């Protein structure tokens, strides 16, 4: 990796795994190609890791655990703060890496790097706190408190759509809490995973504290999940994969972030132009490849036609192309399977009676491109409205009133993110109360999480919260401590006088 803002990413190179402070080959000796989704050309060859590689990485992490956990938390935070500085120095380089590897437009890639910087700065500061709590005891001359302790070796399995910021969202709090890490990036974005680990190495992370193993979910992911020395797993990705992880993990902490089918409610008193911008950005930003993407717009009947006409006009103007081109609005999908999935759901929607206003096709060109697509005349029970597509497809639903809007937005199995546009304070607070989602925005799109606030969903969107204080809770154990300085045996619930409440 070259230092500086003007560094140029390698077009194609061979990469290695990182185990116990060394860059090493896989036990298999095999490799796989990492493809640029805009050109379908290889941008690197990566080791196909296996169970033996995972075991070596876990053993290295276990050996490093005591030394790292005994390192004062503020010192651990300083290492993460150094990573923040490196991210800032290499922001343009890393943004281009993200765009080359997974396709999003360069503007968004820069934003992703900034998100990782913000997360690093926030979590580094938490190394100065790692707050427990103090409370009273029911007995005299007795002190009670809680402290935060590391869990142990944690396995981090990250997706391709945010290949820098989501690993950062997991890794930085895990490290600040004193854990050691085995990191498996997605096979669609391993190069960004390598870049992040390179920066951690340069920041001075001791050997064994962070380990990187590349490869498939079957050969690397599941062995990591099942490994008896791994005390916690944090996974972001597909819902079905999350269910398999729960089946295979055994008795360990498992944090899952499993996607969403997010909706924006546009009420009759909304600022229609503002809502339009929100749905456009939320639905087609990152080519719809966000777990928080706005895939449903639930619009009041009194403003539906106006909203529909304005939205289709704007969607038709979105320019599809390579994310490195500053004129591009929507980049490619990540791979051929994602392209075929979007194509398949368009066919399903048409078969269900939805009407396409624009898009719906893959242009005849190199790369995994799919036109920004807008469906109308949708109903809440349609598959295109119920199931996560993870592509540039937005469905419009017409509703008669607020209650119908709430029923529609809550009708899906997911519950990650939602938004409502309204100028009515009562509607706003009732929506906050009744929407079944872990994140709710008012007069803003369904995307745009901030690092110092918890992020995660309800229902089948996951089991955990990342970011903010709750991000530290995910990667630490609560230890309760009692200090009795009475000089005698005291028995809780027994040696308590009646007048003291017993």
Q: Are residues 292 and 310 in the same domain?
A: yes
Average pLDDT in the chain: 96
Q: Are residues 314 and 214 in the same domain?
A: no
| pLDDT score, position 483 | 98
* Domain range for 404: 262-442
Q: What is the CATH number of the domain that holds 420?
A: 3.40.309.10
| pLDDT score, position 502 | 43
Q: Assign 3-class secondary structure to 90-156.
A: CHHHHHHHHHHHHCCCHHHHHHHHHHHHHHHHHHHHHCCCCCCEEECCCCCCEEEEEEEEECCEEEE
Token pair of 190 as six digits: 């391993």
Q: Are residues 283 and 254 in the same domain?
A: no
| pLDDT score, position 193 | 98
| pLDDT score, position 497 | 73
Q: Are residues 198 and 330 in the same domain?
A: no
Q: Are residues 245 and 293 in the same domain?
A: no
Q: Evaluate whether residue 415 is within a structural domain.
A: yes
- Contact (Cβ atoms closer than 8 angstroms) between residue 243 and residue 257: no
Q: Are residues 228 and 290 in the same domain?
A: no
Distance CA 140, CA 258 (A): 48
Q: Are residues 188 and 286 in the same domain?
A: no
Q: Evaluate whether residue 500 is within a structural domain.
A: no
Q: What is the CATH number of the domain that holds 59?
A: 3.40.605.10
Q: Are residues 348 and 408 in the same domain?
A: yes
Q: Are residues 406 and 470 in the same domain?
A: no
Which residues does the chain have with pLDDT short of 70?
1-12, 498-502
Q: Are residues 106 and 208 in the same domain?
A: yes
Please give the helix or strand (H or E) that residue 313 lies within, else none. helix 301-317
Q: Evaluate whether residue 76 is within a structural domain.
A: yes
Q: Are residues 158 and 175 in the same domain?
A: yes
| pLDDT score, position 496 | 80
Q: Evaluate whether residue 489 is within a structural domain.
A: no
Q: Are residues 171 and 266 in the same domain?
A: no
Q: Evaluate whether residue 205 is within a structural domain.
A: yes
**Cβ contacts of 191 within 8 Å, gap of 6 or more:** 15, 34, 43, 44, 46, 97, 100, 101, 163
The residues that are catalytic are: 291
| pLDDT score, position 495 | 85
Q: Evaluate whether residue 502 is within a structural domain.
A: no
> What is the DSSP track for 165-182?
HHHHHHHHHHHHTT-EEE
Q: Evaluate whether residue 11 is within a structural domain.
A: no
Q: Evaluate whether residue 61 is within a structural domain.
A: yes
> What total number of domains does the chain contain?
2
């Amino acid at each position: 990796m070259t230092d500086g803002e003007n560094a140029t990413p390698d077009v194609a190179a061979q990469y290695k795994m990182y185990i116990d402070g060394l860059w090493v080959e896989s036990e298999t000796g095999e490799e796989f190609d990492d493809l640029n989704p805009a050109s379908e050309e290889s941008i690197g060859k990566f080791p196909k890791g296996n169970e033996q590689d995972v075991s070596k990485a876990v053993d290295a992490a276990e050996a490093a655990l005591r030394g790292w956990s005994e390192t004062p938390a503020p010192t651990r935070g300083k290492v993460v703060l150094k990573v923040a500085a490196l991210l800032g120095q290499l922001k343009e380089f890393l943004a281009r890496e993200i765009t080359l590897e997974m396709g999003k437009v360069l503007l968004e890639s820069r934003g992703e790097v900034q998100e990782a910087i913000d997360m690093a700065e926030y979590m580094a500061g938490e190394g100065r706190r790692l707050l427990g709590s103090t409370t009273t005891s029911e007995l005299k001359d007795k002190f009670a408190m809680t402290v935060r302790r590391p869990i142990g070796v944690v396995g981090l399995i990250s997706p391709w759509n945010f290949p820098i910021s989501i690993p950062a969202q997991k890794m930085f709090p895990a490290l600040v809490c004193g854990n050691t890490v085995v990191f498996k990036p997605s096979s669609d974005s391993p190069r960004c995973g390598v870049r992040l680990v390179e920066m951690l190495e340069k920041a001075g992370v001791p050997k064994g504290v962070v380990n990187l193993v590349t490869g498939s979910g079957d050969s690397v992911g599941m062995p990591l999940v099942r490994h008896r020395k791994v005390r916690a797993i944090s996974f972001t990705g597909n819902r079905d994969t999350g269910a398999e992880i729960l089946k295979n993990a055994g008795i360990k902490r498992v944090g899952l972030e499993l996607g969403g089918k997010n909706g924006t409610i546009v009420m009759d008193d909304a600022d229609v132009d503002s809502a339009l911008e929100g749905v456009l950005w939320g639905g087609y930003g990152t080519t719809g490849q966000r777990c928080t993407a706005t895939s449903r717009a639930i619009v009041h009947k009194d403003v539906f036609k106006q909203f529909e006409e304005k939205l289709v006009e704007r969607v038709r103007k979105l320019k599809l192309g390579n994310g490195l081109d500053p004129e591009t609005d929507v980049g490619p999908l990540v791979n051929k399977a994602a392209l075929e999935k979007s194509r398949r759901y368009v066919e399903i929607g048409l078969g269900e009676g939805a009407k396409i206003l624009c898009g719906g096709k893959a242009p005849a060109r190199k790369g995994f491109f799919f036109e920004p697509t807008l469906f109308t005349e949708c109903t809440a029970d349609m598959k295109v409205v119920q199931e996560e597509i993870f592509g540039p497809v937005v469905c419009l639903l017409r509703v008669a009133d607020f209650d119908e809007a709430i029923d529609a937005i809550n009708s899906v199995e997911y519950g990650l993110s939602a938004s409502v546009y309204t100028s009515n304070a009562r509607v706003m607070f009732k929506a906050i109360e009744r929407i079944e989602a872990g994140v709710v925005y008012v007069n803003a799109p369904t995307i745009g999480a901030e690092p110092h606030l918890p992020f995660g969903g309800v229902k089948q969107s996951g089991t955990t919260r990342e970011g903010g204080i709750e991000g530290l809770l995910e990667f630490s154990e609560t230890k309760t401590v009692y200090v009795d300085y009475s000089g005698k045996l005291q028995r809780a619930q027994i040696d308590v006088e009646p007048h003291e409440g017993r």
